[in-house]
Chains A and B, each alone.
Chain A
Amino acid sequence: MLTRRMGLQTVGLMRILSIAYGQFPQVFKLYSRFQPGIGHLKVILEITPAGGFERARFLTVFRQLAEFFPTISQHSCCEEWETAPLYLEKEDGVSIKRVGEAADVAHLIEHVIVDMQVGLGGLHRCSGLTCGWKDPDNRFDLFVECANARVGLFASQFAVYLVSRILTKRKLSARNRFVLTLAAYMQANPSVNIDVPGLARALGWKKRDTEMALSRLREFGFFENGKDDEVREEEDV
């Protein structure tokens, strides 16, 4: 089994090969409702093994994610196919498709990234694509609209971390909420000093919890330097 290494290259069953940010015009051929002018994240992810994601296991992941990100339960599908909620209470499950493959897990990760883009990234609407490779069949390209590359980098790595933790540990620690809450606080207060005592006071947390959350934010790239407006149009000269 793969194990976690530095920089979240490999987390449990997941391996992030790369994360890029820019304009990918050809993705409009796969989904016409992407908003023009907004950049996309491209996350290349491998899930090992490709199989073994039966419905019960999938639901374990989905239910815990729905607790952590309640708006996921409001998802619905499907344009051009049928309209139905993502979560069907009467079936106690999901309707998006017949689940049971790694693509469903990659798709959930994409949803978490989308959710965080809306919650943290300043987007009112966010669309994403999960594209499963033919070969290797455990590799996925996730394209997600993104207005802030730094937030996108964080959201991608944190989403993979959360899903991987559920798959390997079966239970998501409530302490992860500190990470998300601190990210939201830092986004809302961009000029705040990044010091543990001050943040602990402001949030009413123990220093230990604040330290942990801050450490995770650093690990997941939340403080990576870089301009957020890396992608823009220029006229021909």
Chain B
Amino acid sequence: MYRATPKRHNNRIKQLFMAKGLTARDSGNIADHESSPVAGLYRIVLNCESKNAGAEQRRKITVGFPTD
């Protein structure tokens, strides 16, 4: 019987820029990206969405929920 094999992200984070004199630990444990958004790290999250489909341009933003 065929069973779907779940895919796994080959999660290669590419560091594009790091300020001089900083380490990953200094700038928020960059190596541990996956845990940061759920670690109770944030006091506020503002989100938004942009849509550009042909002539129609629509922007949508979702704003402001505390993470506590």
Q: Which residue of A lies closest to B37 (CB)?
A: A26
Which one of A9, A24, A128, A236 contacts B47 once the chains associate, using CB atoms below 8 Å?
A128
- Pairwise interchain contact B47-A97, C-beta atoms closer than 8 A: no
Which one of A26, A110, A131, A133 contacts B48 once the chains associate, using CB atoms below 8 Å?
A110
- Pairwise interchain contact B27-A44, C-beta atoms closer than 8 A: yes
- B-side interface mostly: strand
By a CB distance below 8 angstroms, the chain A residues around B43 are: 132-134, 137
By a CB distance below 8 angstroms, the chain A residues around B36 are: 26, 141
Among listed A71-79, A184-192, A201-209, interface-contacting one: A71-79
A232 in contact (CB, < 8 A): yes
CA distance A137 to B41 in the complex (A): 10
Among listed A51-59, A165-173, A210-218, A223-231, interface-contacting one: A223-231
By a CB distance below 8 angstroms, the chain A residues around B51 are: 124-125
A88 in contact (CB, < 8 A): no
Count A-B pairs with CB separation below 8 Å: 220
A80 in contact (CB, < 8 A): yes
By a CB distance below 8 angstroms, the chain B residues around A44 are: 27-28, 30
B3 in contact (CB, < 8 A): no
B55 in contact (CB, < 8 A): no
By a CB distance below 8 angstroms, the chain A residues around B57 are: 71, 74
By a CB distance below 8 angstroms, the chain A residues around B28 are: 17, 44, 133, 139, 141
- Pairwise interchain contact B22-A18, C-beta atoms closer than 8 A: yes
By a CB distance below 8 angstroms, the chain B residues around A125 are: 49-53
Q: Contacts A17-B19, A30-B45, A111-B48 known; A76 to B60 CB distance under 8 Å?
A: yes
By a CB distance below 8 angstroms, the chain B residues around A17 are: 18-19, 22, 26-28
Q: Contacts A26-B37, A72-B59 known; A129 to B64 CB distance under 8 Å?
A: no
Q: Which residue of A lies closest to B8 (CB)?
A: A236
Which one of A6, A23, A24, A103 contacts B46 once the chains associate, using CB atoms below 8 Å?
A103
- Pairwise interchain contact A110-B46, C-beta atoms closer than 8 A: yes
Which one of A18, A97, A231 contacts B64 once the chains associate, using CB atoms below 8 Å?
A97
Which one of A96, A133, A156 contacts B61 once the chains associate, using CB atoms below 8 Å?
A96
- Pairwise interchain contact A131-B41, C-beta atoms closer than 8 A: yes
**13 A-B residue pairs with CB within 8 Å:** A17-B27, A18-B15, A19-B17, A20-B14, A30-B37, A76-B60, A86-B59, A125-B49, A126-B50, A127-B50, A132-B45, A139-B28, A226-B16
Q: B residues near A, CB below 8 A?
A: 5-20, 22, 24, 26-28, 30, 33-38, 40-53, 57-65, 67
Give 9 A-B pairs besides A80-B62, A123-B52 with Cβ atoms closer than 8 angstroms.
A9-B20, A18-B17, A23-B11, A24-B37, A42-B33, A77-B48, A97-B64, A230-B14, A233-B8
